A and B are shown apart, each in its own frame.
Chain A
Amino acid sequence: MHTALLLEMIAGACPDRLALAGRAEGLTFAELELRARRGAAWLAAQGPGTIVFLGLNGPALPKAIFAAGRLGRPFAPLNYRLPDADLRKLLARTAPSVAIVDDDMLPRVAGVDGVALVTRSAFEAAARDPAHDAAEPEAADPDIAVLLFTSGTTGEPKAAVLRHENLASYVISTVEFMGAEEGEAALVSVPPYHIAGVSAVLTGVYGGRRTVHLPAFTPEAWVDAAAAEAITHAMLVPTMLGRVLDVLEARGQTLPALRALSYGGGRMPASVIERALQRLPHVDFVNAYGLTETSSTIAMLGPDDHRRAIGSTDPAVRARLGSVGRPLPSVEIEVRGPAGEAVGANVAGEVHVRGPQVAGEYLGRKLTDAEGWFATRDAGWLDADGYLFIEGRLDDVIVRGGENISPGEIEDVLRQHPAVADVAVVGAPDEQWGEAVAAFIVPRGEAPSAETLSAWVKARLRSTKTPEIWAFRPELPYNDTGKLLRRVLKAELTSRAAA
């Protein structure tokens, strides 16, 4: 099934409902469909190949996604925050392509072979122009819907392939068609080149919910937009949520219209979600776990789970706040040990997933096995009730003297210390043990001593899990979608060891 059909359906069923942008200047679903059609006809005449999107969030994004879909061409949003040289290299990999580029970003990417550049304003103008009504464009390769370059936190970015059937399966199995009530509005602040930025467009359309795009995230702008547009639904990555809470607390705002807030894309510190539940008791919180390669969410911890956990004194129930919840009904999740065997409850291993939404594919490389299982490279376990806990990336596991140590567990313990604002635990090269545990600490107020923190960890975990190397710094390196750049910290330790 084709993603363009999602828009066709909603435009047929509720043409006059607002689809996009602010209440003042909004576009209806019928208008969005018409503009995507015109945009497609115009793009087809600009050159062959993939449709690239390089720019800030905004109404141009859904138009471009659905225009590319109508043409049967892959849609490839690129990260405009990359340094120019890296950006040009990525853009070159999309050739032959037509790139829709924010007008002010055009000089950064001029002259890349095989790429026809068009400005965002020219695309928007064409999408408004009735001259493009008649042309019904080609559907060359209707298979690949989206190419998403992974953030490359561990190396060269890979082009993840999401096919129409993957994305459409995800949408129709998780979203009730026209399930949104009139007046609901979602605020999208994850960038266009993040899987959640793409899936939000598709699920918003199918659910019939108005989508408001924040061009670029700042916590102040997010709170302002949420209040001004009476936003009811939003998704944030954990670092964004923490900063939004800071603003709400400083201003004494509660966002009474807000009903549902989902978060994902990284580990949520317990302190942040607890604060959020206290600050916004009227909001339904959802922890959504998913990967680019799985067309977004595959497991979720729902609002009732959150309320039960925060209201409980039972440590096992309360620990659920650290879980990513249960698998969606449309996917299967299995945890496997090192030999590939499925392990039982409460045993850690690698998380595997299968289902129609699971693409598990990079350009030229299919990664699912014969039975359709995709190995996520995430370490985790399922508890006896089927709740999934994610420890982190398998590549981040520290191997100290043959013992596998998960950084996440140590980070959680350290984050509970009142003098620790943020923390990252990584493996450092060590002659005796292979790897040693190193902790980078961002102090809250006056820096605690390494001895104090060592004792804190030792009292709660085993001594082998107590960091041997301590470093204190004002902040940790994150990319713009909130992923901790562990490789930057590891490289620092490696060069320190070599010096």
Chain B
Amino acid sequence: MDLKPGSRWKSAVCDAELVVVRPPSAPGVLECGGQPVIAHSAERPAGQALAAAQDGAAAIGKRYADPTTGLEVLCAKPGKGALSLDGRPLELKEAKKLPASD
């Protein structure tokens, strides 16, 4: 899976959509709800659903990062699946709130 900046992906098991903001320093598999994500243009496979209760979810407008490889993704559409890279849960990136400047 080529997680290049700007590439768009979607969850195979929920409604979540993601865009890569910063690529990982080493190849890896981005997952949502425990399943590898699929290309944004691909059809969601039928019959797959979230297997287990999720620890977290993909919230729209939030950024998630993998500290090991530097991968950062932005959630463009919310979903019930939690995000991970090679099984490592991604961390919610808390951004400092800035005042409006333009």
> In whole angstroms, how far apart are the Cα atoms of A328 and B5 in the complex?
21
Interface residues of A in 62-110 (CB under 8 A from B): none
Given contacts A2-B6, A164-B6, contact A8 B76 (CB under 8 A): yes
B52-64: CB near A (< 8 Å → 1, else 0) gives: 0000000011110
Q: List the B side residues contacting A9 at CB < 8 Å.
A: 60-61, 76-77
> In whole angstroms, how far apart are the Cα atoms of A5 and B98 in the complex?
22
Among A45-53, A123-131, A296-304, A443-451, the one that faces the other chain is: A296-304
The reply to whether A300 and B21 form a contact with Cβ atoms under 8 Å apart is no
> In whole angstroms, how far apart are the Cα atoms of A179 and B63 in the complex?
14
Q: List the B side residues contacting A209 at CB < 8 Å.
A: 100
> In whole angstroms, how far apart are the Cα atoms of A173 and B63 in the complex?
9
Q: Does A317 contact B (CB under 8 A)?
A: no
Interface size on B, residues (CB 8 A): 22
Q: Does A241 contact B (CB under 8 A)?
A: no
The reply to whether B102 and A203 form a contact with Cβ atoms under 8 Å apart is yes
A1-42: CB near B (< 8 Å → 1, else 0) gives: 110010011001100000000000000000000000000000
A476-490: CB near B (< 8 Å → 1, else 0) gives: 000000000000000
Q: Which of B61, B63, B97, B102 contacts A235 (CB 8 A)?
A: B102
Given contacts A12-B77, A172-B63, A173-B95, contact A286 B19 (CB under 8 A): no
Q: Which of A5, A12, A172, A286 contacts B101 (CB 8 A)?
A: A286
Q: Does A329 contact B (CB under 8 A)?
A: yes
Q: Which of B21, B62, B96, B99 contacts A286 (CB 8 A)?
A: B99
> In whole angstroms, how far apart are the Cα atoms of A173 and B101 in the complex?
13
Interface residues of B in 10-31 (CB under 8 A from A): 19-21
Q: List the B side residues contacting A178 at CB < 8 Å.
A: 60-61
The reply to whether B6 and A12 form a contact with Cβ atoms under 8 Å apart is no
Q: List the A side residues contacting B63 at CB < 8 Å.
A: 172
Pairs across A and B, CB under 8 Å, 30 listed: A1-B74, A9-B61, A9-B76, A165-B6, A169-B21, A172-B63, A174-B98, A174-B101, A175-B98, A176-B61, A177-B62, A178-B60, A186-B100, A196-B102, A203-B100, A203-B102, A206-B61, A233-B100, A235-B102, A262-B102, A264-B101, A264-B102, A284-B99, A286-B99, A288-B101, A297-B101, A300-B98, A300-B99, A329-B95, A329-B96
Taking A174-B101, A175-B98 as given, write out 11 further A-B residue pairs in contact, using a Cβ cutoff of 8 Å, ordered by the A residue number. A1-B19, A9-B61, A13-B61, A177-B62, A186-B100, A235-B102, A290-B101, A297-B101, A297-B102, A300-B99, A329-B95
Binding site for A on B (CB under 8 A): 5-6, 8, 19-21, 60-63, 74, 76-78, 95-102
For the complex of A and B, 7 pairs with smallest distance between CB atoms: A177-B61, A288-B101, A297-B101, A196-B102, A199-B102, A1-B6, A262-B101
